[in-house]
Chains A and B, each alone.
Chain A
Amino acid sequence: MQQEFTITIFSENHVGLLNQVTTAFTRRSINIESLNTSESALEGVHKFTIVVFTTREQMDKLVGQLEKKLDVLKVFVFTTDEIIHQELALYKVPTEALLNGNEIEGIVRTYGAQIMEVTPEYTVIQKTGHKAETQELFVKLDKYGVLQFVRSGRISITKLRTELLEKYLRELRTENKIRGIETY
């Protein structure tokens, strides 16, 4: 059964890492629905957040291939109920649409969005939320003519207290001691 997975990849931050990561998806013909990269809470560790639709079996095999990439530290996979996730959307609408009554302002309030910038030509609205919510707002605003629209990749955070990676790195240090390697 295909379902939505959110993959968190922790890696070194080198040139070409995105390529290392994406070739693993390409080989198995898994489409990336959304992608975000950023620094993690740990210094020097980079974090990819990737959303895909696939089966659990494909997912497990993909994780194996990703973790095999030399500069990848660790990969965690979550189903949607295991994480808190958000996306950010920006909408540009003509300012004149706002001047014809206060319908747009009403929509902005209802959807918990914010007006970021107003110029004589255009107004930029920002909303964070799940994809369905930002999409719904797009449909509402598009009645007034959305000039530009962009949605970020998903970012997510686990429902656990700390980063899973910290636990993993602690275990790795213990393992490395067994191997006779002292790591920081």
Chain B
Amino acid sequence: MQPQSQLLMEKNKKGKERISGSEAVLRSLICEGVDLIFGYPGGAIMPVYDALYDYQDKLHHVLTRHEQGAVHAAQGFARVTGKVGVCFATSGPGATNTVTGIADAMIDSTPMVVITGQVASPLLGTDAFQEIDVVGITQPITKWNYLVKTAEEIPEAIAKAFYIASTGRPGPVVIDITKDAQFGEVDFDYEKVNHIRSYIPVPLTKPESVHDAIDIINSAKKPMALVGQGVILGHAEEELREFLDKTGIPAAWTLLGMSAMPTDYPLNVGMLGMHGNYGPNVKTNECDVLIAIGMRFDDRVTGDVSKYAKQAKVIHLEIDPAEVNKIIKADVAVLGSVKDTLPALTKEVKGNTYPEWLAEFKACDKIEDEKVISGEVFPTQEGMTMGEVVHKVSKAFNDDAILVSDVGQHQMMASRYFNFKQSRSNVTSGGLGTMGFGLPAALGAALGAPDRDVCVFIGDGGFQMTIQELGTIWQTRAKVKIIVLNNNFLGMVRQWQELFFDRRYASTELMNPDFQMIAKGFGIESALVDSRDNLDSAIETMAKHDGPYFLEVKVEKEGNVFPMVPAGSSVSDIRLE
């Protein structure tokens, strides 16, 4: 009898190689340019891991400590590289542990392919060990998903997965592969997919819509642009810059649009939304033309939609037709990729400047500076504030690091006070608001952008949700600078309890472990700062350290994030204190 390996290598009549389904998974990934996988093995995906043993020179696998960590790491990787993040998980609990990350990637349009092992096809639907209906569970939170039951389907399924995940409005795809399909054989022949009949990644732009938009922009007195993640996803940072340079229109960014232009770009008027800047929120209800560029009018941006930009003509540049008129009615919808539609506008629109209008934003900045920023960034009281830590860390990295944040007060503070020089420098969980996102996402970001500094800000609550990934960071030596802003509270919930629930602090105060000992246990260099006197030197030490570093800063227990548009209020009713 011939040995198994020779059989596998035997070529069939057409000259195609006959290989196992598992090997086909890996070969398909290599054909898609993948070289990094985050994952966690288990029974139903063991054949793929076994095949991986022979491909370690081409495919680097990062073993996270939990499947949720693997998905968030893949998201972090995808967000900084623009490539598709890839992860592996086993069936049952392995797959269900990926669900939060998949939902997060779906709502934040992150390209990702999740490959899960599934029980052998004869066992499907029998409540077999570690069997769960992965396709059913992930259906509403994926751009596409598919159950593979034979080895023959593997190359095509993976080719479709990458095409769907990465084109149009990106998103996560789940490929669930039964164990018998992994063990089965296929004549391997990989063809990339570039068309699916029922899928239109980028809608065609109607020339009339471009003309209408140009007419509105040309006659605008107080136009304002809202920059969303679409600019970054569409690699349209240059095109945005050219459009703004020519038109002179002030531009604000959404939480996910951050870093699409440099922080100090003269027309950048700051952040939109609940904890965004005063100017762009107030001016939303004073502008005469609102140009939404690759953004979706999330409720954290709009506040009360019935009182949102009612006075303005709305132009919506959007790749996803379902987003048009979903929240805010567009007077003109320019469908297409902003990479194409922005230059179409720039070409015909007349050059302009709005010095008086821009001065109105500056006046707002002055008010915000006096009432909020100066006290937050340069506090006079004894306790340290989150804003001052973020500001100092940003400066220590020359305002050019990648910012990763978890979810909560520190996230808003980091978004408000961290500065950017280049695009793809902001990784955060926007739509889903997933606590525990930060640490694993920072791992993925650091492995995706090894030449850049990666700073992750996390609260003491979120840190403990995925703290196990310190192990992965230690093992990979990923150069992540972990800054935990510790106030011994679930700060954002506490802030809401203070403002809207009569300071009834139900289950928000934390009794924390000794994080320094934990960091030490994971072999990660660390420091604790509990007084302002040591803050600068500790940040400097962290910045100079070559490798992962953990910095814990004890900040004021009851600091609040302002400005704030209370949930359900109009953006005009933004509170400064």
Chain A residues with CB under 8 Å of chain B are 11-12, 15-16, 19-20, 23, 27, 60-61, 64-65, 67-68, 70-73, 172, 175-176, 178-179, 181, 183
A164 to B324 CA separation, bound complex (whole angstroms): 23
Known: A12-B198, A15-B147, A181-B194. A70 touches B164 (CB 8 A): yes
Chain A binding site: helix, strand, loop or mixed by DSSP?
helix
Q: Which chain A residues border B202 with CB–CB below 8 Å?
A: 179
- Contact of A11 (CB < 8 Å), options: B144, B198, B204, B325: B198
- Contact of B139 (CB < 8 Å), options: A16, A73, A179: A16
A16 to B323 CA separation, bound complex (whole angstroms): 25
Q: Is the CB of B325 within 8 A of A60?
A: yes
B153 on the A face (CB < 8 A): no
Q: Is the CB of B322 within 8 A of A183?
A: no
**Which chain B residues numbered 165 to 217 have a C-beta less than 8 Å away from chain A?**
194-200, 202, 204
Q: Which chain B residues border A23 with CB–CB below 8 Å?
A: 139-140
The residue of chain B having its C-beta at the shortest distance from the C-beta of A72 within the complex is: B198
* 29 sampled A-B residue pairs with Cβ under 8 A: A11-B198, A12-B198, A15-B147, A16-B135, A16-B136, A16-B139, A16-B147, A19-B139, A23-B139, A27-B140, A61-B322, A64-B322, A67-B322, A68-B320, A68-B322, A70-B143, A70-B144, A70-B164, A70-B196, A70-B199, A71-B144, A71-B198, A72-B198, A73-B197, A172-B200, A176-B195, A179-B202, A181-B194, A183-B197
A64 to B324 CA separation, bound complex (whole angstroms): 9
A106 to B556 CA separation, bound complex (whole angstroms): 86
B14 on the A face (CB < 8 A): no
B321 on the A face (CB < 8 A): yes
Distance from B203 Cβ to chain A, minimum over Cβ atoms (Å): 9
Q: Which chain B residues border A72 with CB–CB below 8 Å?
A: 198
Known: A11-B198, A72-B198. A64 touches B164 (CB 8 A): no
A162 to B286 CA separation, bound complex (whole angstroms): 49
**Which chain B residues numbered 107 to 146 have a C-beta less than 8 Å away from chain A?**
135-136, 139-140, 143-144
Q: Across the A-B interface, give the 5 residue pairs with the lowest CB-CB distance, nearest first.
A: A64-B322, A70-B144, A73-B198, A23-B140, A68-B322
Distance from B514 Cβ to chain A, minimum over Cβ atoms (Å): 44
Q: Is the CB of A64 within 8 A of B321?
A: yes
A60 to B200 CA separation, bound complex (whole angstroms): 18
Known: A67-B322, A70-B143. A19 touches B136 (CB 8 A): yes
Question: Chain B, 149-173, contact with A by CB distance < 8 Å: what is the 0/1 string?
Answer: 0000000000000001000000000
Q: Is the CB of B164 within 8 A of A178?
A: no
Distance from B481 Cβ to chain A, minimum over Cβ atoms (Å): 38
Beyond contacts A64-B321, A70-B143: 18 other A-B pairs, Cβ-Cβ < 8 A, are A12-B197, A12-B198, A15-B147, A16-B139, A61-B325, A64-B324, A67-B322, A70-B144, A70-B164, A70-B196, A70-B198, A70-B199, A73-B197, A175-B200, A176-B195, A178-B204, A179-B202, A183-B197
Distance from A172 Cβ to chain B, minimum over Cβ atoms (Å): 8
Q: Is the CB of A181 within 8 A of B195?
A: yes
B13 on the A face (CB < 8 A): no
Distance from B171 Cβ to chain A, minimum over Cβ atoms (Å): 10
A68 to B431 CA separation, bound complex (whole angstroms): 18
The residue of chain A having its C-beta at the shortest distance from the C-beta of B145 within the complex is: A16
**Which chain B residues numbered 282 to 302 have a C-beta less than 8 Å away from chain A?**
none
Q: Is the CB of A20 within 8 A of B322?
A: no
Q: Which chain B residues border A172 with CB–CB below 8 Å?
A: 200
Q: Is the CB of B195 within 8 A of A183?
A: yes
Q: Is the CB of B139 within 8 A of A20?
A: yes
A16 to B138 CA separation, bound complex (whole angstroms): 12
A137 to B194 CA separation, bound complex (whole angstroms): 54
Known: A23-B140, A27-B140, A73-B197. A64 touches B135 (CB 8 A): no
Q: Which chain B residues border A20 with CB–CB below 8 Å?
A: 139
Q: Is the CB of A67 within 8 A of B139?
A: no
Q: Which chain B residues border A15 with CB–CB below 8 Å?
A: 147
